[in-house]
Amino acid sequence: MTAPLFPCEQPSNSGPLFVVLNGASGRAATEERQRLVSEQFNAAGRGHEYLTVKSGRELPQVARRAVELAQRERGVVVAAGGDGTINAVAQEVLDYGLPFGVLPQGTFNYFGRANGISQDIATAARALVQAPVRPVQVGQVNGHRFLVNASIGLYPKLLEDREQWKRQYGRSRLVALGSAIATVLREHRRLNIELVRGEQIRIIHATTLFVGNNALQLKQLGLPEAERIEQGELAALALHPVSRLTMLWLMLRSAFGKLADAEEVQRSAFRHMTVEPRLHYGSHRIKVAVDGEILWLRPPLHFEVAPHPLYLVAAEPTGPLE
């Protein structure tokens, strides 16, 4: 692979499309998605190639291969999957300034929905071959990029438990809700965190620290910081230690988009923030959830807006975020 390239001008959406396709849902479903997508690409006269991924472990390698092909052919790298798949492919694309397309497949698809990309894969494919390229903001923590959010504390545990429930009961919003309720009813460790923003240092006690980079997700929680994302910042939410009953009440408020006035939640917006968790004796790393994927990182954690954007192939959303 050639050296990273950050173009002086935005790349164009004119070359062949190299689609990294999450095939975890099975051969029949994968072949049907390929058929629907190929119909739209062929109708537009666009060359394309599928690089199918059968397990999460293959994603980085397959994404790198797609980047190599797109560099050589002056093409577009496309991620077909949920937010985790989209993030994994974007990680490889970002350093090379290549155009990046999305064909959403997951349960929540915050990234695709926030950028006006249809949840119907055929509709999304048809729009993809016609859309312009525009820069979108990326967040990062210790060099690991995130398109939607990153977090420590309770939220990573929620994600881990949700995946276990999905494997047992299937993928649906109802299963995700049931898993979340079961998780918050357990005992949770309190985090002692030092936050550094510029010259300001603050010590807080929290069960979770959530950093968002997705205006749609924050808007659904009823948080005014959604507008700050669109102004080039990230949003931080720290949940103070509360009782189980209060935790359930906060979940209910968040479900109805009423979290803004909750006294138990501390909120702020920033471009760069250093987080120093006070770890237990013998601990050298902390669990961090990055767009749904679990990483173990060494503190301090440096959260910031990435210096380079992702060049997304998508028109500007024309309606309200939903």
Is-cis flag, bond preceding 16, omega within 30? no
Contact 17, 44 (CB under 8 A): no
42-46, 175-179, 252-256: least confidently modelled range: 175-179
Average pLDDT over residues 159-183: 71
Provide the percentage of residues in the chain whose pLDDT is more than 90. Answer: 51
Considering the entire predicted model, what is its pTM? 0.86
Mean pLDDT of the chain: 86
**Domain residue spans of the chain:** 17-131, 144-305
| Span 194-211, pLDDT tens digits | 888 877 888 888 888 999
Domain 144-305 - what CATH class?
mainly beta
The radius of gyration of the chain from alpha carbons, rounded to an integer in Å, stands at 20
Fold of 17-131: Rossmann fold (3.40.50)
| Span 10-56, pLDDT tens digits | 788 889 999 999 877 677 788 899 999 999 999 999 999 999 998 77
Q: Is 168 a residue whose pLDDT tops 80?
A: no
| Span 211-238, pLDDT tens digits | 999 999 999 999 999 999 989 999 999 9
Residue 39: partners with Cβ closer than 8 Å, 6 or more residues away: 122, 125
Residue 78: partners with Cβ closer than 8 Å, 6 or more residues away: 17, 18, 19, 20, 100, 101, 102, 103, 128
Q: Is 139 a residue whose pLDDT tops 90?
A: yes
| Span 258-294, pLDDT tens digits | 888 888 899 999 999 999 987 655 568 899 999 988 8
Q: Which pLDDT belongs to residue 188?
A: 65
